[in-house]
Structures are given as structure tokens and as C-alpha cells.
């Protein structure tokens, strides 16, 4: 049985802990957080079943630990991930993999040299609704992609080490990468505003992919919570609304039928307003699935679906988006 240690028991770490604990094929070895008060909270739940430490080197120096799961602030991923890989441990790391491409490439080659697994928790790829969307798309039901619109709005949690794109849009970029089979990016543009943080707290990212266009909004400053994805295809359209408990995923037979290609430089089209249906979704926890996929990769030694390469493709877009934001300031 693979032995795993969790580092970071802040906001998200407790969810990772719960799902490691639930997985009876993983041995939960340690919970580590540099803040003792966080460990005290963990002890109330896991009591004697795990070891607790404020010192990460306890884990690094324990040869019986096979893997490290990092749920620390994004800015701390690189240093701790590097230590884990140098100590020969497989790595589960929360999204975004790192806060820049160069660090990510270095971690990737460290893992390659040592034959270690890197699994980045692009959690939405393991979500039953996104899996179902992929199934529908792969059987050709929506036709070709025209437009993918994503929004992640809420009040909080304001971060100071990354902007809202690196915090939230990273999920949408991972979803688009997964649904479209890694479509090539042609250009990236972003706008945003800094409020209540030194980082951009509200952002709008526009990505021109080879064959379709995507718009992605992220905000830590919104009165309502929205987690929505609209996929408009040439045949059908899909809406995924994570906040809607009943109609999470709806497939619409809507679109335009092109009557004649071009007539005096204009398309002759007719709107189609057909039926909609709600696909049945498996009752599964995306985080559990993600951790189980990592466990499976550790056993089989196969690359994760969301490995360093997949994560680097996403971070590369985020870096280009940051450059676009910076160019706004220079011109402004
Ligand atoms: N997959 C998801 O849907 C999802 C959701 C939220 C957050 N996240 C990711 O999870 C990560 C953590 O986010 P968070 O909001 O929980 O952050 P957080 O600041 O609430 O918690 C981070 C914890 O790590 C601890 N820590 C930092 N450096 C440490 C070290 N060297 N040794 C031991 N402990 C250390 C801190 O004390 C803190 O308790 C981020 O990368 C974030 O992007 C993922």
C-alpha cells in the first residue's frame, strides 16, 4: 500500500485529507502544517491515525513515505515539490502546478530523471459532469466547437500570491484542454482590475484557439456565486452550471442551420430551437477521483492524465495572459 503525506492544512488541505483518509488503498502517514493551530484542528478529526508535524523535513527524511501531496499556497509549490522529488517521492500537487513555466519545466525534468510521477490536481477533469460532457462531445453530438464561455465568480477568497486567473481560470483552461483534446492556442488577451489585493482580483481572459474562441471570467468580488460553462457547437450546445443542484448539465438542441453558404457576403441561416435533455451524472467526488487516479499512477507507473505537461500547457496560457495584463499598465 502506498504511503502518502499531506502538506498544508489551511483552507483546501482538509478536503484533500478527507479524501486521502477515505481511500482505503492509501496509507495516510502524515499531516504537516507549519502552523500548530492547524494541526490541532486536524488532530480533532484524525486523532492517532496519522502523524503530525510542523517540519516538512520530517517527511522528506522518512524513507517509508512514497508520496507527498501539496496543498500549500501556490507560491510555495515549487520549493516543496523540488524537495519531494529530490527525495525520490511521487508528487500530488494542487492547481496551479507552479506560478511560472520555468519552475514547472524544472520539476518536470527532475521527475523524468528519477522516474517519478507528477499529478497536478486539475480537479475538474475528474468531475463527473465534465466527464459526461467529454463523452457527449466525443460522440460528435455537439459538432465542431464555436465558443466556450466560462465564469467563476464569488465573494472571496482573496489571494495575495496569485491573481484570480491563476486561482480560478486555471480550472477552466484545464477543462477546455481536456474537452477539446488539447487544442492549440493562437492568441491570448486579458483585462482586469486590482481591488483588495496587490493582484488582479477580477479578470477577463480571451483565448483564441485554433478552431474556436473562449472567454473566461474570474472574480473574487461578486455578490453571487457562479460556476458556469457554455459550450456552443455547430450541432448542439451544452450548459454546465455547478451551482444548480437539479439542472447541472443540460444539452440543448439549439443552433443555426446554414441554408446557403453565402449570398451577397451574408450567410443565410435559420435558428433551430429543439428539445433539451439532462444527462444522468454519476454520484462521485471529483477530488476523490483525482487522488485515486494519482494512486493508480503510482502503482502502474503510468503518467497522470493531468501530468506536468498538461499543467505546463495551462500555465503557459496564464503567463501569456499576465503579459497581456502588464501591457495594459504600460500603455495606461
Ligand atoms: N482543487 C481545488 O479546487 C482547489 C481549491 C482551493 C485551493 N486549491 C489550491 O490549494 C492550495 C492551497 O490553497 P489554500 O487556499 O488552502 O491556502 P491556505 O493559505 O489556506 O493554506 C495553505 C496552508 O499551507 C501551510 N504551509 C505553507 N507552507 C508550508 C510549509 N513549508 N510547511 C508546512 N505547511 C505550510 C500554511 O500554514 C497554510 O495552513 C493552493 O495551491 C490552491 O490553489 C485548490
Choose one of 33, 72, 103, 220 to mutate for the ligand 1 pocket test, by most ligand atoms within 8 angstroms of C-beta: 72
pTM for this model (two decimals): 0.95
Selection from 61, 34, 35, 39 nearest residue 50 by Cα: 39
Q: How far is the CA of 158 from the centre of ligand 1 (A)?
A: 13
Question: Distance between the two ends of the chain, CA-based, in angstroms?
Answer: 57
Model pLDDT, residue 114: 98
* DSSP code at position 125: G
For the stretch 294-311, pLDDT in tens is 999 999 999 999 999 999
pLDDT of res. 326:
84
pLDDT at 303 (0 to 100)? 97
Q: What is the pLDDT of residue 269?
A: 84
Q: Is the CB of 123 under 6 A from ligand 1?
A: yes
Give strand pairing partners of 15: none
Centroid of ligand 1 to alpha carbon of 177 (angstroms): 24
Q: How far is CA 304 from CA 91, 103, 133, 295, in A?
A: 11, 19, 20, 10
- Condensed to tens digits (0 to 9), the pLDDT of residues 173-210 reads 999 999 999 899 999 999 999 999 999 999 999 999 99
What pLDDT is attached to residue 265? 65
Residue 264 is predicted with a pLDDT of 62
Atom of ligand 1 nearest to the CA of 79: 31
Q: What is the mean pLDDT of each run of 10 residues along the chain (332 residues)?
A: 97 98 97 98 96 98 98 97 98 98 98 98 98 98 98 93 96 97 95 93 97 98 97 97 94 88 72 94 96 98 97 97 84 55
* Closest atom of ligand 1 relative to the 70 alpha carbon: 11
Q: Nearest to residue 230, comparing CAs of 168, 308, 150, 288?
A: 150
Question: In the prediction, which pLDDT does 157 show?
Answer: 87
Cβ atoms 258, 268 nearer than 8 A: yes
Q: Residues 230, 241: contact at Cβ < 8 Å?
A: no
Cα(13)–Cα(291) distance, integer angstroms: 13
User: What is the DSSP annotation of 237-268?
Assistant: EEEEETT-SS-SEEEEEEEEEEEEEEETTEEE
Enclosing H/E stretch for 13: helix 13-22
Q: Could you tell me the domains of the chain?
A: 2-122+287-305 (3.40.50.720), 125-284+317-331 (3.30.360.10)
Per-residue confidence (pLDDT) for residue 203, from 0 to 100: 97
Task: Return the residue whose CA atom lies nearest to atom 7 of ligand 1.
Answer: 12
Amino acid 263: pLDDT: 60
pLDDT of residue 259: 76
- Residue 71 beta carbon below 6 angstroms from any ligand 1 atom: yes
The finding on whether 73 has its CB within 6 A of some atom of ligand 1 is yes
Q: Give the model's pLDDT for residue 235.
A: 96
Amino acid at each position: 500500500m502506498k504511503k502518502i503525506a499531506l502538506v498544508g492544512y489551511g483552507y483546501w488541505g482538509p478536503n484533500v485529507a478527507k479524501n486521502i483518509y477515505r481511500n482505503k488503498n492509501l496509507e495516510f502517514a502524515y499531516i504537516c502544517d507549519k502552523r500548530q493551530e492547524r494541526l490541532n484542528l486536524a488532530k480533532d478529526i484524525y486523532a492517532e491515525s496519522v502523524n503530525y508535524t510542523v517540519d516538512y523535513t520530517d517527511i522528506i527524511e522518512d524513507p517509508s513515505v512514497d508520496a507527498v501531496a501539496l496543498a500549500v499556497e501556490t507560491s510555495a509549490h515549487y520549493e516543496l515539490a523540488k524537495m519531494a522529488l529530490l527525495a525520490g517521492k511521487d508528487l500530488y500537487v494542487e492547481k496551479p502546478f507552479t506560478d511560472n513555466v520555468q519552475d514547472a519545466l524544472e520539476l518536470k525534468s527532475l521527475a523524468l530523471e528519477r522516474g517519478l510521477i507528477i499529478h497536478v490536481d486539475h480537479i475538474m477533469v475528474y468531475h463527473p459532469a465534465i466527464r459526461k460532457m467529454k463523452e457527449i462531445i466525443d460522440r460528435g453530438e455537439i459538432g465542431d466547437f464555436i465558443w466556450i464561455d466560462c465564469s467563476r465568480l464569488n465573494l472571496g477568497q482573496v489571494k495575495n500570491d496569485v491573481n484570480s486567473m491563476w486561482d480560478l481560470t486555471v480550472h477552466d483552461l484545464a477543462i477546455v484542454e481536456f474537452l477539446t483534446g488539447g487544442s492549440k492556442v493562437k492568441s491570448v488577451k486579458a483585462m482586469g482590475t486590482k481591488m483588495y489585493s496587490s493582484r488582479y482580483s477580477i479578470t477577463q481572459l480571451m483565448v483564441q484557439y485554433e478552431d474556436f474562441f473562449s472567454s473566461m471570467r474570474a472574480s473574487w468580488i461578486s455578490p453571487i456565486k457562479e460556476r458556469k460553462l457554455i459550450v456552443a457547437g455547430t450541432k448542439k450546445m451544452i450548459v454546465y452550471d455547478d451551482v444548480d443542484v437539479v439542472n447541472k448539465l443540460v444539452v440543448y438542441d439549439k443552433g443555426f442551420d446554414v441554408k446557403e453558404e453565402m449570398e451577397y457576403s451574408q450567410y443565410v441561416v435559420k435558428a433551430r430551437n429543439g428539445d433539451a435533455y439532462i444527462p444522468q451524472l454519476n454520484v462521485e467526488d471529483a477530488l476523490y477521483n483525482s487522488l485515486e487516479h494519482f494512486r493508480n499512477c503510482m502503482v502502474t507507473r503510468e503518467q497522470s492524465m493531468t501530468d506536468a505537461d498538461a499543467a505546463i500547457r495551462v500555465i503557459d496560457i496564464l503567463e501569456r495572459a499576465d503579459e497581456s495584463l502588464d501591457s495594459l499598465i504600460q500603455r495606461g
